[in-house]
Chain A
Amino acid sequence: MRIGYFCTFTPKELIHSAGFLPFRIFATRKPISLASAYIQSYACSQVRGALEVALSDEFHGFVFTRSCDTLMRLTDILEFLGKRVYNIEFPTKIGNVDYYVYELRDFCKTLESWGGEISFERVIESLALYRELEEKLKKLFEVRADYEIAIKVQQIDVSGAIKLVEKKIEEAKKEEKPKILVTGSVCPYPEIYEIFTKAGFAIKDDLCTGRRFFEFNYPNFEPHDLDSALRFLAEKYFSKAPCPTKHYPNDYRFDYLLRLAEDCEAVVFLLVKFCEPHFFDFPQLREKLEEMGKKVALIELEFPVASTEQIRTRVEALKEVIG
């Protein structure tokens, strides 16, 4: 049974261990029509397009984590439409692990009430599987960033996903091209990444359909019971590649991003129209990146993407400017 989720902070491991398939919902590629009846047009197209999918496909339930205000209300809207929903209150301020362990404990109870089974052994198993997937994806991306795979693995069973990535690692060949950093929320269109590679760039990314899905620092301890497994999970997600919907001590996300950009020729902000968290960060990040001597471009996305031609022109022009 599929459990739909929207955000890379979702503890997929628990959903998987309970016997469900965690299925990441991206915006539909079809025109948005149903969703317009339930949410205003100034909600971002990721949320409107995801609502469209949530209403037209089969799901056993939906799991949200607190991230942006729009997703927060989407939980309510889906519930009003008779769907089974649960919202995990992932903290906005990264820091208090104890609090989040409590929150995960409550989530386990919810999964049980949805017909799932939670046991220490199975949680450990899922933790190991996802870690394997994440480490393999990391390895693949070190050779060659493959977004078709990064998107696909978020919608299939983790064991199959690992095999798929292994196969890709064997095939992947490193290419020496100037690097470009692409930052933003989600972009479930593999053909858009291809625009960058065809223009002669190697992509490094800071996206939920890329690195933010698989980049973690793992805690240095072995869980010995369910509670410590939840603690492991909490710490793992606290150390995930940072996201603008979270507040970090010492402006960690800015530092992280500037470090990522160091060996890149240019930085492209690939932002979904109406996405507040990313658009708030954009001007000050741009300023800092330009101080570092980086070329910066902003490309605004709306799903479904009608034509990639405009994006192609922008990217090719950027390549020409850099030379």
Chain B
Amino acid sequence: MKRLKVAEKMRNLMAGYYMLGHQAKVRAWVTSGAPVEILYAMDVYPVYPENHGALIGAAKLGSYYSDFSEKRGFSRDLCSYARCDIGCVFAGTSPVGGLPKPSFLFACNNICNTVVKWYEILSRIFKVPLFVLDVPFVRKELKESHLRYVEDQLIDFIKFVEKLIGMQMDDSKLREVAMKSIEAVKLYGECLRMSKNRPSPMTCFDAFINMAPIVCLRGTDYAVSFYKEMKEELEDRVKNRIYAVENEKFRLLWDNIPVWYRLRWLSDFFASRNACLVADTYTNAWTGFGELRSSDLISSLAEVYTVSYLNIGLERMVEIINGLIEFYEVDGVVMHSNRSCKPYSFGQYEIQKKLSVPSVIIEADMVDERAFSEAQVATRLEAFLEML
């Protein structure tokens, strides 16, 4: 696997991010789909348990940390991000020495309802307040009443934080953060779209490895300058004909959260068979922020965070996937049926039938390596490539 040079920089950046957390005065644990812009605008440091979960998975310590929560009675059928993260709290440590304790919690259910339960548990453990941003599911078109409901809660949330920190939010600061968010998202989207080149200069594994800044540092200068650099490196690759997969023969699309503990294995598996996973539905979920309007910030934040990828009906998901297939000129789709992520995985059988190219399903879990059978996955993927 030819890693991007920026991956090294990303590691340093994220190490710095985790360190800063211990010094921050006010810290909030937040879900990946929460409007973090409001937190950065009020100098609240956001901690991302989901990113932490991915990191544990990548370190192949999923079952190790999950064990700490399983011993307390948490079922092994629960989401492995939650199991591992709660496990780290009980263990009092983690691969990054444990997450800094929260001042409050902020859960937005635009990715799943699991996070509400997970954060309720954290709230009881840490005895800190929890704000749930309740986002209606958008099965068809976005309704005015839904948008207003979310908007009202955003205003409530700002008041909630203001009361906790004893300071008012500065509107111009929020605007400034939001602009940085838009900028980073735009650059990140441009990076991902570099895969349109044939052969592609990057794979979705590069996208996975380098996605932490767009999740955790969206709204800061760090994310902007990081993705600028990533984009430059990719442009260089294209110019100098450096390809992610030397003899790119098949172009594939990945669906669902990565199998974090098998990134390397999967990446080598595909590369050695001249297959390049040029794009994925997961990282693309973070590129939909283009609509943020500075004139009506709260309502456009409400809109952007309501129509997130996992909060829409299957019909719309099919449209998006077929759009990606067309844009990236993809030959086939690899779908990860992820035991931990029900909203992402249920419906895959139906989506398969509506895609414009063939697809294959592999069974696994994003973090818990006990749910992965190498022989089973290899057979399915090999057969799929033989078929293509």
Residue in B148, B152, B349 whose Cβ sees the most chain A Cβ within 10 Å: B349
Q: Check A87 for interface membership: any CB of B closer than 8 A.
A: yes
**B349 close to A92 (CB less than 8 A):** no
Chain B 141-156 per-residue mask, 1 if CB under 8 angstroms from chain A, else 0: 0010110110011000
What's the least CB distance linking B20 to chain A, in Å? 30
**B343 close to A283 (CB less than 8 A):** no
Q: Check B339 for interface membership: any CB of A closer than 8 A.
A: yes
State A251–B124 Cα separation when bound (angstroms): 9
Residues of B contacting A39 in the complex (Cβ-Cβ under 8 angstroms): 346, 349
Q: Check B66 for interface membership: any CB of A closer than 8 A.
A: no
Q: Check A130 for interface membership: any CB of B closer than 8 A.
A: no
Interface residues of B in 59-82 (CB under 8 A from A): 69, 72-75, 77-79, 82
Chain A 75-114 per-residue mask, 1 if CB under 8 angstroms from chain B, else 0: 1110111000001010111001001001100100000000
**B149 close to A282 (CB less than 8 A):** no
**B77 close to A77 (CB less than 8 A):** no
**A42 close to B134 (CB less than 8 A):** no
Chain B 101-114 per-residue mask, 1 if CB under 8 angstroms from chain A, else 0: 00000000100111
Q: Check B48 for interface membership: any CB of A closer than 8 A.
A: no
Q: Which 5 residue pairs across A and B have the least CB separation, nearest first?
A: A283-B73, A280-B117, A73-B346, A93-B134, A102-B145
**B74 close to A38 (CB less than 8 A):** no
What's the least CB distance linking A36 to chain B, in Å? 9
Apart from A68-B113, A75-B139, A80-B314, 19 more pairs, CB < 8 Å:
A42-B77, A69-B346, A79-B313, A79-B314, A79-B315, A89-B136, A89-B137, A92-B116, A93-B134, A96-B149, A99-B148, A102-B145, A245-B113, A254-B124, A276-B78, A276-B113, A280-B82, A280-B120, A282-B73
- Which residue in A69, A93, A283 is a CB contact (below 8 Å) of B114? A69
State A106–B146 Cα separation when bound (angstroms): 12
Residues of A contacting B121 in the complex (Cβ-Cβ under 8 angstroms): 280, 284
Residues of A contacting B200 in the complex (Cβ-Cβ under 8 angstroms): none
**A247 close to B116 (CB less than 8 A):** yes
State A66–B78 Cα separation when bound (angstroms): 19
What's the least CB distance linking B129 to chain A, in Å? 10
Q: Check A277 for interface membership: any CB of B closer than 8 A.
A: yes
**B74 close to A76 (CB less than 8 A):** no
State A87–B337 Cα separation when bound (angstroms): 24
What's the least CB distance linking B321 to chain A, in Å? 14
Interface residues of A in 236-252 (CB under 8 A from B): 244-245, 247, 251
22 contacts between A and B (CB under 8 A): A39-B346, A40-B345, A40-B349, A66-B137, A69-B343, A70-B346, A73-B342, A76-B350, A77-B350, A80-B314, A80-B315, A80-B353, A87-B137, A92-B134, A93-B153, A99-B152, A106-B145, A244-B117, A280-B78, A280-B121, A281-B117, A284-B124
State A286–B117 Cα separation when bound (angstroms): 16
**A72 close to B137 (CB less than 8 A):** yes
**B120 close to A251 (CB less than 8 A):** yes
Q: Check B132 for interface membership: any CB of A closer than 8 A.
A: yes
Q: Check A74 for interface membership: any CB of B closer than 8 A.
A: yes
Residues of B contacting A274 in the complex (Cβ-Cβ under 8 angstroms): 77
Residues of A contacting B349 in the complex (Cβ-Cβ under 8 angstroms): 37-40
- Which residue in A69, A77, A81, A254 is a CB contact (below 8 Å) of B342? A69
Q: Check B347 for interface membership: any CB of A closer than 8 A.
A: yes
**A76 close to B117 (CB less than 8 A):** no
Residues of A contacting B73 in the complex (Cβ-Cβ under 8 angstroms): 282-283, 286, 298
Residues of B contacting A87 in the complex (Cβ-Cβ under 8 angstroms): 137, 139
Q: Check A131 for interface membership: any CB of B closer than 8 A.
A: no
**A247 close to B132 (CB less than 8 A):** yes
- Which residue in B113, B132, B152 is a CB contact (below 8 Å) of A69? B113
**Chain B residue at minimal CB-CB distance from A277:** B117
Residues of A contacting B123 in the complex (Cβ-Cβ under 8 angstroms): 251
Residues of B contacting A38 in the complex (Cβ-Cβ under 8 angstroms): 349-350
Q: Check B118 for interface membership: any CB of A closer than 8 A.
A: yes
**A80 close to B350 (CB less than 8 A):** yes
Residues of A contacting B113 in the complex (Cβ-Cβ under 8 angstroms): 68-69, 72, 92, 245, 276-277
Residues of B contacting A75 in the complex (Cβ-Cβ under 8 angstroms): 139
Chain A 270-288 per-residue mask, 1 if CB under 8 angstroms from chain B, else 0: 0001101101111110100
Residues of B contacting A298 in the complex (Cβ-Cβ under 8 angstroms): 73
State A75–B347 Cα separation when bound (angstroms): 10
Q: Check A264 for interface membership: any CB of B closer than 8 A.
A: no
What's the least CB distance linking B268 to chain A, in Å? 27
**Chain B residue at minimal CB-CB distance from A102:** B145
State A282–B152 Cα separation when bound (angstroms): 32
**Chain A residue at minimal CB-CB distance from B82:** A280
What's the least CB distance linking A34 to chain B, in Å? 12
**A91 close to B143 (CB less than 8 A):** no
**B136 close to A66 (CB less than 8 A):** yes
- Which residue in A77, A81, A247 is a CB contact (below 8 Å) of B346? A77
State A274–B75 Cα separation when bound (angstroms): 9
**A43 close to B342 (CB less than 8 A):** yes
Residues of A contacting B77 in the complex (Cβ-Cβ under 8 angstroms): 42, 273-274, 276, 279
